[in-house]
Amino acid sequence: MQVFGLVGNPVGHSLSPPMHEAAYTELDLDARYVTFEPAEGDLDRAFEGADALGIAGLNVTIPFKQRALELVEPDSLASRIGAVNTVDFSGDTVTGHNTDAVGAVRALEHHDVALDGTAVVVGAGGAGRAVAFGLADEGMGVRIANRTETKAHALAEEVPDATGHGLDALPEVLADADVLVNCTSVGMAHDDDPEPDETPVPSSALHADLAVLDAVYTPLETRLLRDAAAAGATTVDGAWMLLFQGVEAFELWTGRNAPVDAMNAALRSGL
Ligand code: ATR
């Protein structure tokens, strides 16, 4: 039996186990996907243990993605992003990858969005970094807009063909853009506000020639996606990005084409 898993803290509400196990069932693979919650300073020991125990692959999430990069042989995209979310223990060396970036790319491609032209990435945190590098690798020009404008400029320095902006520039940078990805937490439900009606993008800046992906998936229909649909834009909810980061990890670990529909059904039934 092959064992895969997720390392993070906390991981209790993760939808990765049902999503990956649906794939194992669909393809009749003898594999399990389990969650691990090591203490903050224990990732080194966790990886050594996983390797020694013959664990085949691990996803990595908050707060371990940056430390994971130091402990594995990262691929070029993960190095540039500065974070690893997928580790492969199967070869002679332990390798690290970042499927968050490809997750956004594949979520858009799945909705027939052409990845040429210009993308606006809102947010310059971990998710914003991954998506900006992912879209730039597809050949898109990337405009990064962030509340803290200096962070947008700093990230734009690193990403090829990118520019940095404050959120006040959104109407201007969106006017002729093709793709918009929200990588901030604005619009996400939380304990204090279970039904937020917030968006980082003024609705008047949205238009019918845009494809809008919201990385937020709780709720699935965010205020941004409602506004985008009203403007006639193509909308892609955050569960697609979550799905395709998992699909990409599954394919990397198993070398098989992922059963996307089965994984999608399992994920959405858990949301
Ligand atoms: P993640 O790993 O999910 O990207 P993060 O690294 O904490 O999380 O980044 C959060 C992002 O959401 C940042 O771009 C942050 O903007 P700042 O760099 O200015 O902090 C953005 N963000 C969070 N709350 C926001 C708000 N209320 N309005 C606008 N942007 C916000």
Does the domain at residues 101-236 carry the CATH identifier 3.40.50.300? no
- DSSP designation for 190: B
Evaluate whether 2-97+240-269 and 101-236 have a shared fold: yes
The reply to whether ligand 1 has any atom less than 6 angstroms from the CB of 268 is: no
Domain ranges of the chain: 2-97+240-269, 101-236
State pTM to two decimals: 0.97
Measure Cα distances from 56 to 38, 133, 193 in Å.
18, 27, 39
- Within 8 A by CB and 6+ apart from 202, the residues are 170, 171
Which residue numbers are catalytic?
Answer: 65
CATH number among 3.60.70.12, 3.40.50.300, 3.40.50.10860, 3.30.70.1070, domain 2-97+240-269: 3.40.50.10860
CA 85 – ligand 1 centroid, Å: 19
pLDDT in tens, 127-151: 999 999 999 999 999 999 999 999 9
Residue 144 confidence (pLDDT): 98
pLDDT tens digit string along 150-194? 999 999 999 999 999 999 999 999 999 999 999 999 999 998 999
Find out whether the beta carbon of 123 lies less than 6 Å from any atom of ligand 1: yes
Q: What is the mean pLDDT of the segment spanning 113-136?
A: 98
- Summarize pLDDT for 1-38 with one digit per residue, the tens: 999 999 999 999 999 999 999 999 999 999 999 999 99
Residue 245 in contact with residue 103, Cβ under 8 Å? yes
Q: State if residue 153 touches ligand 1 by the CB under 6 angstroms criterion.
A: no
From 64, 184, 242, give the residue whose CB has the most ligand 1 atoms within 8 Å, as the site to mutate: 184
* Cα(87) to centroid(ligand 1), Å: 26
